[in-house]
Structure 1
């Protein structure tokens, strides 16, 4: 969902180039060692971070890891940045860019985990290639993830979930966890789950939340 333009958010992004890479040139590789204090830490990426509740909470809970919020909308990037600054999250960077260019921004075998939370379902067949679990996106994720690196996916859209399971299975991925009602799993799983803004909204309406964890294996 496209957010309304918020001038303060755009201005905030412009004022903090040390925290936000705003539409960088895909032809120029990003030196993440200059963006994080310690690049030896595990790197986790959320593709499509929205307002950022999930990724900022994750970064706050895991100071021993580095995180990148990849978000296309500048207004959303500004909202994430505001929380980052308020919570002083030095282990979080914001990349305002198109996910289609993800392999240009991250080196091969550099990420440990990739999160896809409530991605646009693009329900029309003619838009299949835009779905973030389409085979060309999976190919890109495989390149940037370390061997054994994991994709964690959540959605409230049953159609997108079924499509994603089939797409990942056809790509030869291994499933470590699959749920068609995440919020009613055992207490340990529910306790570990960090809700996104959309997830809280949909779950409050009684909608089931679908989730899976999958990896490409170790070749």
Structure 2
């Protein structure tokens, strides 16, 4: 699906105080951007921001960074934050990045991130594009470079082929192991506890599409 460009997006993102500009300068110093020094969690490919904004509001004890590659999409999240600010409800523990996720090791220091959320990532269905998938071997290597010793990855998708591929790459990863998995999240009582939905999740699940989820932790063997 072709992304619709929003004329005001580039300028809004460039001037927003919620967007971290020149993020490589924050490497090893991300805690200084927030009011409180506490665990940092990322969502990569956050879309319009519903999930990461809801998480930040639900968990003020955690600092969040939402990552979105496209300014026209990130702009929608900024609009949500502006609306919350007018209502006096904007979370202060959330910042945004407009970058390609391949840059992560240049932006975060080893051990600086506690958790990475991957929600309904682009499946890149053609085999020649497999290395662009956010659960590919190359990206797992990048995550390994920034996650804390007890760090974890949470991945959700409605695309069964992408999920099966992700299970395969995780199974052979030297850094991570599959802690839990489900092919139908909303019917899995244990894994659905405390689940926060994204825009896509609500849309897909309302049509009866099962949501797959897996949790990865660092290997302990």
Question: Normalising to structure 2: TM-score of the pair?
Answer: 0.90
CA-atom RMSD, angstroms? 1.8
Q: Across the two proteins, how many residue pairs are aligned to each other?
A: 214
> Which deviations, in whole Å up to 9, do the C-alpha atoms of 1:99-153 show, x marking residues without a partner?
0111111111111110000011111111111111111110110110001200000
SS at match of 2:122: coil
Q: Tell me the distance in 2 between the aligned counterparts of 1:76 and 1:217.
A: 35
Cα 1:167–1:189 change in 2 (3 A) is: closer
Cα 1:154–1:65 change in 2 (3 A) is: same
Aligned to 1:182: 185
Aligned to 2:33: 35
Q: Tell me the distance in 2 between the aligned counterparts of 1:180 and 1:29.
A: 38
Q: Kindly indicate whether the alpha-carbon contact (under 8 Å) linking 2:23 and 2:107 is maintained by their aligned counterparts in 1.
A: no
Cα 1:44–1:2 change in 2 (3 A) is: farther
Equivalence map 1:53-132=2 (5 Å): 53-85=50-82, 86=84, 87-132=89-134
Q: Tell me the distance in 2 between the aligned counterparts of 1:117 and 1:202.
A: 13
> Which deviations, in whole Å up to 9, do the C-alpha atoms of 1:30-83 show, x marking residues without a partner?
442442112x30100000000011000000000111000011011221211222
Q: Kindly indicate whether the alpha-carbon contact (under 8 Å) linking 1:135 and 1:167 is maintained by their aligned counterparts in 2.
A: yes
- Provide structure 1 residue ranges, at least 5 long, that are not aligned to the other structure: none
Shift of 1:211: 0.2
Q: Tell me the distance in 2 between the aligned counterparts of 1:137 and 1:77.
A: 22
SS at match of 2:153: strand
Q: Tell me the distance in 2 between the aligned counterparts of 1:189 and 1:124.
A: 30
Q: Tell me the distance in 2 between the aligned counterparts of 1:161 and 1:13.
A: 32
SS at match of 2:20: strand
Aligned to 1:153: 155
Q: Tell me the distance in 2 between the aligned counterparts of 1:3 and 1:112.
A: 31
Q: Tell me the distance in 2 between the aligned counterparts of 1:42 and 1:218.
A: 21
Question: Normalising to structure 1: TM-score of the pair?
Answer: 0.90
1:15 paired with 2:15, answer: yes
Shift of 1:218: 4.8
Equivalence map 1:185-204=2 (5 Å): 185-186=188-189, 189-204=191-206
